[in-house]
């Protein structure tokens, strides 16, 4: 283990452990009012009339008429209304907000409001959508030729469902006007995204908007895009009433009406000639929901991963994100990649079994290596450690032996094991970092020789305060206690970009390392100094052309091998996870405990996605799994034997050798789990989550 990886007590440990940390719902301000939204009850309708009861004194209704700037939330495109205009496009779309001093009274007023809808026929099924939000195509080699010359074309379709981030703290923000400005604070990942959105919605100069992150109870992507929407709504309310307004969602609102992982349908055609895979033609369809939010970038990452970790010389990928009258999907750990990785890993498994060879044997034949071309004709610039990770995995889990032994079982209890190989492209897709984000960080050295990290990245539990400070302290050669960091406040920190894409530690942490080296040279005892660093793209990168989808989509990749072993009870269709093993290459961990915590937490979230986290809407477009009773996430007893290991593969261009980590562990879980179920049940499977109900259907089919 590298010296930097030695774990320290986390910077945020004490206040969180003792319950002293104040989350947004714990904050109160003088004169503060409570807001609650009226959500559309219809999936697609024109609003004919809204009948309001007589409002008691001190209570207000806030809607589209109160938006002083543009009634659109700036995300990637500007199509999401702050408050609904003449139509509603999904169940849950915010129409108005009732604001007042007493929460129960606010609820009562909401219940008395009558919205008269003229219903239209919603499009709920993504396959039936006629509105394509985003459409991307890319190819390399000669796919037509590969298909024409193939001995056979193996074609299969895979589906994945919603996944809800299910952070323990629901969405919540407080907005308050003061001195001609607007401050919004609360639970978030990306203060500067909100900053831009709120200034446009209010029509304020950016200097008149301040965003402060409070202690945030988990995000996982769910607090990347959604808080921008909520912030505009709350800020408009606060501007209207001239008082602080707090909105904290209850669990049902949060589950039903906020962004989630995109459901997908992926169709793969794989050309096979002389027992070799010679080409892949892939069609990726994502359900974007009613507005575009982050679908463009989620889809980009998804289709870049379409060929998995495999060398496919003739490749064509067609991706679409389409509109439906359902809740807009957005960011969730993995960001499009879990869907395509699920599909490609499953089809590799199916092709292998069809050929009569072991799945891992087929996969190993095509694993990319350093110097190979990526899906987008970029390059894998660095060592790909998958072969040694697979060997270690085999030692840990006994995968090869078990996988064979579990074929053709009979009897009530049947076991299965599955294994997946995935990567996570570290940081923003393409040239986003260079052309859009243009991150800036600062370090302020105080007269007492303490230093303060000034960056806009939010610690949402992933340990960023600790890892940022460790990098600075170690580089400067000063004790960790002398390096300080606060929750970001846009009045005080520069825009070092959002807390997304597994970029914060690798990219911003790398900038902090360079900046600390600079400060070390200029260090003057007892004096105040401020130093600043800007993002520089590594010089080895093949520039990414988003029009052609060509070049390095990512500077480097993190790698994982996951194996999951299950035991199915064929009488009850229930099953147990006997073991889940993950081996991860995330470069050098800046803190081993933190990285282990990320790997374990992410892996378990992925196992939830694979096996139990089922969410769907009914024929009216209403999501029915809107509580922890109906949407089940893993508890401490579901996967007692979850083992994670980190291999040492330093990234030469990351701080201390670190690269992206947070998203990686989730991605490989679904294919490993569903492969394990296939191994146990002796059938081919095509969907995730794969729940006990799905198992029951398979068992009924088999017994027919």
Partner 1 sequence: MKETIKFILNNKEVVSTAKANERLLDVLRNEFRLTGVKCGCKEGECGACSVILDGKLANSCMVAMGSIQDSTVITIEGYRDTERFTVLDKAYAAVSAVQCGFCIPGMVLASECILAKNPHPTEAEIREGISGNLCRCTGYNAIVEAIGIAAKEGNGLW
Smallest separation (angstroms) from partner 1 to the CB of 638: 9
**Contact at 8 Å (CB) between 278 and 148?**
no
Q: Pick from 25, 313, 358, 379 the residue near partner 1 by CB under 8 A.
A: 25
Closer residue to partner 1 (CB): 566 or 594: 594
Q: Pick from 1, 6, 9, 357 the residue near partner 1 by CB under 8 A.
A: 9
**Contact at 8 Å (CB) between 529 and 522?**
yes
Establish if 216 lies at the interface with partner 1 (CB under 8 A): yes
Closer residue to partner 1 (CB): 250 or 616: 250
Coil vs helix vs strand at 432: helix
Q: Pick from 196, 218, 319, 587 the residue near partner 1 by CB under 8 A.
A: 218
Closer residue to partner 1 (CB): 215 or 384: 215
**Contact at 8 Å (CB) between 307 and 319?**
no
Closer residue to partner 1 (CB): 163 or 340: 163
Q: Which residues pair with 232 in a beta bridge?
A: none
Q: Pick from 122, 601, 621, 655 the residue near partner 1 by CB under 8 A.
A: 601
Q: Which range of residues in 11-19, 230-238, 375-383, 445-453 is near partner 1 by CB under 8 A?
A: 11-19
Q: Pick from 214, 349, 591, 613 the residue near partner 1 by CB under 8 A.
A: 591
Question: Interaction with partner 1 in 239-298: which residues (CB under 8 A)?
Answer: 250-251
Establish if 378 lies at the interface with partner 1 (CB under 8 A): no
Angle at 266 between CA 262 and CA 272, to 5 degrees: 155
**Contact at 8 Å (CB) between 674 and 346?**
yes
Smallest separation (angstroms) from partner 1 to the CB of 274: 44
Q: Which residues pair with 561 in a beta bridge?
A: 421, 583
Report the alpha-carbon distance of residue 582 to residue 599 in Å, rounded.
8
Q: Which residues pair with 273 in a beta bridge?
A: 276
Report the alpha-carbon distance of residue 12 to residue 468 in Å, rounded.
12
Q: Which range of residues in 315-323, 346-354, 414-422, 603-611 is near partner 1 by CB under 8 A?
A: 603-611
Angle at 247 between CA 243 and CA 251, to 5 degrees: 170
Q: How far is CA 654 from CA 422, 537, 555, 651, 659, in A?
A: 20, 12, 10, 5, 6
**Contact at 8 Å (CB) between 310 and 374?**
no
Strand (E) or helix (H) holding 139: strand 132-140
Rg (alpha carbons) of the chain, rounded to whole number: 25
Closer residue to partner 1 (CB): 39 or 381: 39
Establish if 12 lies at the interface with partner 1 (CB under 8 A): yes
Establish if 596 lies at the interface with partner 1 (CB under 8 A): yes
Smallest separation (angstroms) from partner 1 to the CB of 167: 6
Closer residue to partner 1 (CB): 475 or 626: 626
Q: Pick from 274, 410, 525, 629 the residue near partner 1 by CB under 8 A.
A: 629
Closer residue to partner 1 (CB): 373 or 593: 593
Establish if 565 lies at the interface with partner 1 (CB under 8 A): no
Sheet of 94-100: strands edge to edge? 60-62, 94-100, 33-39, 245-248, 172-178, 181-186, 209-213
Burial class (CB in 10 A: 0-12, 13-18, 19+), 330: buried
Closer residue to partner 1 (CB): 303 or 607: 607
Smallest separation (angstroms) from partner 1 to the CB of 86: 34
Smallest separation (angstroms) from partner 1 to the CB of 254: 9
Q: Which range of residues in 287-295, 499-507, 601-609, 617-625 is near partner 1 by CB under 8 A?
A: 601-609
Q: Which range of residues in 57-65, 629-637, 652-660, 694-702 is near partner 1 by CB under 8 A?
A: 629-637
Sheet of 315-323: strands edge to edge? 132-140, 315-323, 276-289, 264-273, 152-160, 687-688
Closer residue to partner 1 (CB): 25 or 313: 25
Q: Which range of residues in 441-449, 556-564, 637-645, 669-677 is near partner 1 by CB under 8 A?
A: 637-645
Q: According to DSSP H, which parts of 331-421 are helical?
A: 337-355, 359-366, 386-397, 399-405
Closer residue to partner 1 (CB): 25 or 156: 25
Q: According to DSSP H, which parts of 143-205 are helical?
A: 143-149, 191-202
Closer residue to partner 1 (CB): 281 or 613: 613
Smallest separation (angstroms) from partner 1 to the CB of 562: 13
Q: Pick from 19, 275, 356, 547 the residue near partner 1 by CB under 8 A.
A: 19
Establish if 215 lies at the interface with partner 1 (CB under 8 A): yes
- Residue 442's φ and ψ, nearest 5 degrees, are -135, 155
Orientation angle between helical segments 359-366 and 337-355, nearest 10 degrees: 120
Question: Interaction with partner 1 in 437-476: which residues (CB under 8 A)?
Answer: 460-463
Q: Pick from 169, 214, 433, 675 the residue near partner 1 by CB under 8 A.
A: 169
Smallest separation (angstroms) from partner 1 to the CB of 6: 12
Report the alpha-carbon distance of residue 39 to residue 31 in Å, rounded.
26
Cite the beta strand spans of 241-361 per DSSP E: 245-248, 264-273, 276-289, 315-323
Residues that bind partner 1 (CB under 8 A): 7, 9-10, 12-23, 25-26, 165-170, 215-220, 250-251, 460-463, 591, 593-594, 596-597, 599-605, 627-629, 633, 635-637, 639-640, 642
């Amino acid at each position: 283990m590298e010296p930097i990886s030695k774990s320290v007590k986390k910077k945020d440990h004490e206040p969180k452990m003792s319950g002293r940390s104040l989350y947004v719902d714990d904050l109160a301000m003088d004169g503060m009012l409570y807001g609650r939204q009226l959500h559309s009850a219809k999936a697609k309708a024109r609003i004919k009339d809204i009948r309001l009861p007589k409002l008691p004194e001190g209570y207000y209704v806030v809607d589209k008429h109160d938006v002083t700037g543009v009634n659109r939330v700036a995300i990637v495109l500007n199509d999401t209304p702050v408050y609904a205009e003449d139509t509603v496009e999904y169940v849950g779309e915010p129409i108005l907000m009732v604001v007042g001093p007493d929460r129960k009274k606010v609820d009562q007023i909401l219940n008395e409001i009558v919205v008269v809808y003229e219903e239209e026929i919603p499009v709920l099924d993504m396959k039936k959508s006629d509105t394509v939000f985003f459409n991307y195509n890319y190819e390399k080699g000669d796919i037509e030729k590969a298909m024409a010359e193939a001995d056979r074309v193996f074609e299969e379709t895979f589906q994945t469902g919603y996944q809800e981030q299910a952070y323990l703290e629901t969405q919540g923000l407080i907005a308050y006007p003061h001195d001609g400005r607007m401050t919004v604070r609360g639970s978030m990942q990306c203060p500067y995204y909100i900053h831009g959105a709120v200034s446009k919605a209010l029509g304020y100069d950016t200097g008149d908007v301040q965003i402060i992150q409070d202690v945030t109870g988990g995000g996982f992507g769910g607090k990347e895009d959604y808080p921008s929407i909520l912030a505009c709504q709350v800020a408009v309310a606060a501007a209207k009433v001239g008082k602080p307004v707090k909105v904290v969602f209850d669990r049902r609102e949060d589950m039903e009406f906020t962004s989630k992982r995109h459901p997908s349908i992926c169709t793969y055609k794989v050309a096979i000639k002389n027992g070799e895979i010679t080409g892949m033609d892939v069609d990726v369809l994502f359900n974007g929901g009613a507005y575009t939010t982050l679908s463009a970038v989620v889809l980009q990452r998804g289709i870049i991963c379409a060929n998995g970790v495999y060398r496919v010389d003739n490749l064509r990928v067609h991706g679409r994100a389409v509109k439906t009258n359902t809740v807009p999907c957005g960011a969730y750990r993995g960001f499009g990649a879990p869907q395509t990785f699920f599909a490609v890993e499953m089809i590799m498994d199916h092709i292998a079994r069809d050929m009569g060879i072991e799945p891992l044997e087929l996969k190993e034949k095509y694993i990319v290596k350093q110097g190979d071309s990526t899906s987008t004709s970029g390059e894998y610039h660095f060592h790909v450690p998958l072969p040694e990770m697979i060997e270690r995995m085999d030692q840990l889990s006994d995968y090869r032996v078990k996988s064979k032994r579990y074929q053709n079982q009979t009897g009530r209890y049947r076991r299965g094991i599955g294994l997946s190989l995935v990567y996570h492209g570290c940081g923003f897709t393409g040239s986003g970092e260079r052309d859009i984000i243009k991150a800036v960080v600062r370090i302020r050295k105080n007269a007492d020789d303490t230093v303060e990290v000034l960056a806009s990245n939010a610690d949402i539990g992933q340990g960023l305060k600790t890892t940022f400070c460790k990098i600075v302290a170690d580089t400067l050669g000063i004790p960790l206690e002398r390096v300080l960091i606060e929750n970001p406040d846009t009045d005080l920190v520069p825009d070092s970009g959002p807390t997304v894409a597994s970029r914060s530690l690798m990219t911003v942490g790398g900038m902090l390392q360079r900046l600390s080296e600079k400060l070390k040279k200029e260090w003057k005892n007892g004096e105040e100094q401020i130093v600043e660093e800007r993002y520089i793209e590594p010089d080895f990168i093949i520039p990414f052309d988003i029009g052609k989808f060509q070049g390095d989509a990512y500077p480097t990749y993190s790698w994982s091998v996951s194996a999951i072993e299950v035991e199915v009870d064929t009488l009850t269709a229930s099953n147990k996870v006997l073991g889940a093993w993950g081996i991860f290459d995330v470069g050098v961990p800046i803190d081993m405990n933190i990285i282990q915590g990320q790997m374990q937490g992410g892996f378990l979230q992925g196992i939830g996605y694979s096996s139990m986290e089922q969410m769907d809407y009914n024929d009216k477009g209403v999501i029915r799994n809107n509580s922890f009773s109906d949407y089940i996430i893993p508890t401490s007893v579901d996967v007692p034997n979850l083992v994670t290991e980190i291999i040492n593969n330093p990234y030469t261009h990351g701080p201390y050798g670190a690269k992206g980590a947070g998203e990686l562990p989730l991605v490989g879980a679904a294919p490993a789990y569903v492969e394990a179920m296939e191994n146990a049940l002796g059938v081919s499977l095509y969907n995730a989550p794969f729940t006990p109900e799905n198992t029951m259907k398979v068992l009924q089919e088999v017994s027919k």
